[in-house]
Amino acid sequence: MSDYSELKRLAEAAKDDPNSPHIPCQVAFQRMASPEVVIELIMDLERHQRMLLAACMDMGAIGSALDADMNSDGEELLSMVVDLKAQNKRLRGFLSDISKTSGDKGAVMGARQLLKEFGQ
């Protein structure tokens, strides 16, 4: 069950009328909130918590590798990644130019090897 809108609607209605288990909204909510549904909700919550924790740990590892301020928001990390991509593009262009135009055979071979390692 991934669409909990009906369960939520029934829960809201039952919350507004909590006094009698015989009120139609209470009956409908109790019928829909079966143990299986509650277990599935808990499993979804636990799965999302694990995914969030993993994402936070990955962001922390990336931030640490980039020597980012760990108290800043994701914008700083995003800015660093954009800068690194731009530097990478400039470096590839520089190596490509060296591999085509340099008269130094060693420089040409080194540049071509680096381009191969970059996957270009």
pLDDT (tens digit per residue) in 16-51: 776 766 677 778 878 888 888 888 888 999 999 999
**Closest of 60, 11, 73, 76 to residue 38, by C-alpha:** 11
Query: 51-110, pLDDT tens digit by residue?
Result: 999 988 888 888 888 787 777 777 877 888 888 888 878 777 777 776 666 666 677 777
Which pLDDT score, from 0 to 100, does residue 118 have? 65
Whole-model pTM above 0.85?
Answer: no
